[in-house]
Amino acid sequence: MLPKILTTHQLRLDVPSLADADEVTVLCQDPEIQKWTTIPVPYGREDAVSFIQDVALPGWEKDSPTWFIRATTTDSSPILGAIGLTKSAPSIAEIGFWLAPEARGRGVMIEALQKVVDFGFAELGLEAIQYSCYVINGEPNWPSAKVAWRAGFTFEGKLRKNLVTNQGEAIGSLVGSLLKDDPRSPQHAWFGPSLVRPAIPDSRDPEALVRQFHETYGLPIVSDGPNSDRERVHMRMALVAEEFSELVGAVYGYDARSLIEEAFAKGVASDTGARDTVETADALADLVYVIYGMALELGIPMRDVLAEVQASNLSKLGSDGKPIYREDGKVLKGPGFFPPDIPRVLGLD
């Protein structure tokens, strides 16, 4: 493939040249670029020359293009960052990018990324573009991941120690993908940290979501072994009954819901004190199983619904990221609270 310059509303994506080596050398002294990319550390001019001469320019011949990102004001505008596609198969490529500190937070990379993925699908014949970022000490490169999320990448989860840095350290990665026909907009709720809540665990792991909720709001997590004869079991049974009644009402209507609520009240009144922990565990597992089975048969994407609900639950936090409690201990909703937008997640809005 012949090198090709791309332009957007505010950007010019230039083909690298050896004349850029000095500028790239300076930019790659940035600690964040050194932390989250595969560049050598320390980084010298010879590394910039090697990248341009031995990687970036030859890559075009292999349908693996690299661009330097500039503002469109003039051809000699400073380099704002770099972005490239590396083909791993005839119809699959990996995306990689970095930004200079002064260009961050301005929407530069999302604009460049959208242009490059469109180029990859249209000009390179790609069917899928893969994304990954480092996970260091349990934390992914959240700013990078958010750019990919905004561009429509669907995140698949974390891989453990599948990458090795230039310093020889084995680390994990957060991975996602964008298919040719996917919309170029977020496909699920944002799962990383925000100003008022922590990052959300993988929504394919419901226990991790609930554990985070308990830890965030100070709810019990016992560690003294299984035992269904506990003080809060009645409250928990009431919550299960409430949600089941709501489900019955959603499927069969209000009258059916009322019958379930009445039946549960009679069941509580008939409590004999029997507390079979083994049967309780078995029933809870079966509930999880049949709930996911129902979602599968109804076409409901539980992973995305759970992520949306978790984001809503954690939006109750105060502006300082901490729970707000009433005098009696009840958790209050913070100023950033929002209800879950289930119609959006289901594509029904």
pLDDT of residue 26: 97
Comparing 36-45, 131-140, 193-202, which segment has the lowest mean pLDDT?
A: 193-202
Which residue spans of the chain are classified as CATH 1.10.3420.10?
197-229+283-348
Is there a cis peptide before residue 42, judged by omega within 30 degrees of 0? Answer: yes
pLDDT bin (cut points 50, 70, 90) of residue 319 is: confident
CATH 1.10.3420.10 fits 197-229+283-348, yes or no: yes
What average pLDDT does the structure give for the chain? 93
Long-range contacts of 99-105 (CB under 8 A, 24+ apart): 99/69, 100/27, 100/30, 101/30, 101/32, 103/69, 104/143
Architecture of domain 6-179: 3-Layer(aba) Sandwich (3.40)
pLDDT of residue 322: 87
| Position 73 pLDDT exceeds 70 | no
Kindly report, residue by residue over 92-140, the tens digit of the pLDDT: 999 999 999 999 999 999 999 999 999 999 999 999 999 999 999 989 9
pTM of the model: 0.80
Mean pLDDT of the 286-305 span: 96
Q: Is residue 258 over pLDDT 90?
A: yes
Q: Where in the chain is the domain with CATH 3.40.630.30?
A: 6-179
Q: How many residues does the chain have?
A: 349
- pLDDT given at position 344: 86
> What's the whole-number mean pLDDT along residues 204-219?
93
> Beta-strand (E) ranges in the chain?
6-7, 11-14, 66-71, 79-89, 92-99, 128-136, 139-140, 154-164, 170-179, 324-325, 331-332
Confidence of residue 74 (pLDDT cuts 50, 70, 90): low
Q: Give the confidence band of 53 by pLDDT, cuts at 50, 70, 90.
A: very high
